[in-house]
Amino acid sequence: MTIYNFSAGPAVLPKPVLEKAQAEFLDYNHSGMSVMELSHRSKEFDDIIKDAEKLLRELMAIPDNYKVLFLQGGASTQFSMLPLNLAKGRKAYYVVAGSWGKKAYTEAVKLSKTIPFEPVLLASSEDTVYDHIPEIDSQQIDKDAAYVHITTNNTIEGTAIYDLPETNGVPIVADMSSNILAVRYNVADFGLIYAGAQKNIGPAGVTIVIVRDDLLNDEPVLSSMLDYRIQADAGSLYNTPPTYGIYIAKLVFEWVKELGGVDAMEKINREKSGLLYDFIEQSDFYSSPVKTPKDRSVANIPFVTPSKDLDAEFVAQADALGFKNIKGHRSVGGMRASLYNAFPCQGVLDLLEFMKKFEEENK
Ligand SMILES: Cc1ncc(COP(=O)(O)O)c(C=O)c1O
């Protein structure tokens, strides 16, 4: 039975990457050691992390005045690290269009009780269960604010921001965890981008931060581990980094490059997600909770049947047929197909066949 992994993260990785890692597992590059056994100060690992950075810079066309960091602690640590480094004594705006954006805002509010800065909720679609991206009024943005925080792709609710909001000259900071390398963004439009690796980049444990030089902090913050400048000056080697995860990330970057880069990935992702959206749209059995088509994510596609019981039946039957992890997040229910870069088009075609059959049998 073919297994298709629809997980929202950790998620499916490219098979050629896993095969290469397997082949190199016991003896990396004639070192007689596994990558896991290499010192992070060794020549071999230095080449790996430098190559990973070079490839990511190339794939995302990252300008020279941005630093690329490989950190730990997941995207969730960035919810605090960001205001700690960037927002002292200033306002920080949040656009809350999904549960993860809400978490980022909530963490900022919590931190503002001990660090002087002012998190401001600029826009939210919480009252309609995040079924759309809320409009932003740039007139409300104080031009001296530290940043405007957005989530480019709402993993749980299946919406995305493709056209960046007007922010009155204030830098945009983005949680790009679930669509980094899946669609093209212009890095120069952001002050800072961060992403957990476990969707489009590699295993959990690596967090990518891309930060513009002039935003690096010039005074000591609470802890060296949480200081972007210290991490940047140390080339992400302030402490022992997640070496194996960075190695897999490097292999994934090579794979994306081989397939034609981010633009090629976006084209494939639009095709894959388009097949599923088109099918849902023509069906009067399935429906999408996302209100406006322009807000649709190409990475995470939630959908429901006419009832919760049928949703549960769908998930059970799908699972038995090898369509794994297709159950929607507990906060929204239904189903969610996460179609990250490594998810094969054939998996979508096979899913559509199953969806048709399930509809016929349960209509
Ligand atoms: C958009 C988004 N932000 C943040 C997170 C949290 O990431 P982490 O588990 O790496 O802290 C996730 C996890 O799925 C996510 O999808």
d(CA 359, CA 286): 8
| pLDDT tier at 218, thresholds 50, 70, 90 | confident
Alpha-helical runs (H) found in the chain: 15-23, 43-60, 74-86, 99-111, 228-233, 243-258, 261-282, 308-320, 345-362
Residue 183: which of 250, 261, 125 has the closest Cα?
A: 261
Atom of ligand 1 nearest to the CA of 155: 16
Question: How does DSSP assign 128-171, residue by residue?
Answer: GTT-SPPP--GGGS-TT-SEEEEESEETTTTEE--SPPP-TTPP
Q: Which residue's alpha carbon is nearest to atom 16 within ligand 1?
A: 155
Residue 349, pLDDT score: 98
Q: What is the mean pLDDT of residues 154-160?
A: 98
pLDDT, mean over the chain: 97
Residue 39, pLDDT score: 98
Per residue in 41-65, pLDDT tens? 999 999 999 999 999 999 999 999 9
Residue with tokens 């991490």: 231
Residue 23, pLDDT score: 98
Cβ contacts of 30 within 8 Å, gap of 6 or more: none
Active site residues: 100, 175, 199
pTM exceeds 0.85: yes
Tell me the domains of the chain and their CATH numbers. 15-259 (3.40.640.10), 260-362 (3.90.1150.10)
Per residue in 254-284, pLDDT tens? 999 999 999 999 999 999 999 999 999 999 9
Residue 17: which of 356, 220, 175, 253 has the closest Cα?
A: 253
Residue 237, pLDDT score: 97
| pLDDT tier at 331, thresholds 50, 70, 90 | confident
Whether 178 is in the pocket of ligand 1, judged by its Cβ within 6 Å, is yes
Cβ contacts of 103 within 8 Å, gap of 6 or more: 76, 79
Residue 339, pLDDT score: 98
% of the chain residues with pLDDT over 90:
97
CA of 14 to the centre of ligand 1 (A): 20
Residue 174, pLDDT score: 98
| pLDDT tier at 78, thresholds 50, 70, 90 | very high
Q: What is the mean pLDDT of residues 128-143?
A: 96
Q: For residue 268, how many other CB atoms are within 10 A of its CB?
A: 19
What backbone torsions phi and psi does residue 172 show, to the nearest 5 degrees? -90, 135
What backbone torsions phi and psi does residue 304 show, to the nearest 5 degrees? -135, 160
Q: Given a cut of 80, is residue 219 above it in pLDDT?
A: no
CA distance between the termini of the chain: 27
d(CA 74, CA 10): 12
Per residue in 179-200, pLDDT tens? 999 999 999 999 999 999 999 9
Whether 9 is in the pocket of ligand 1, judged by its Cβ within 6 Å, is yes
CA of 358 to the centre of ligand 1 (A): 32
% of the chain residues with pLDDT over 70:
99
CA of 214 to the centre of ligand 1 (A): 26
Q: Given a cut of 80, is residue 291 above it in pLDDT?
A: yes
Residue 217, pLDDT score: 81
Whether 206 is in the pocket of ligand 1, judged by its Cβ within 6 Å, is no
Residue 55: which of 248, 222, 250 has the closest Cα?
A: 250
Residue 121: which of 160, 161, 157, 150 has the closest Cα?
A: 150
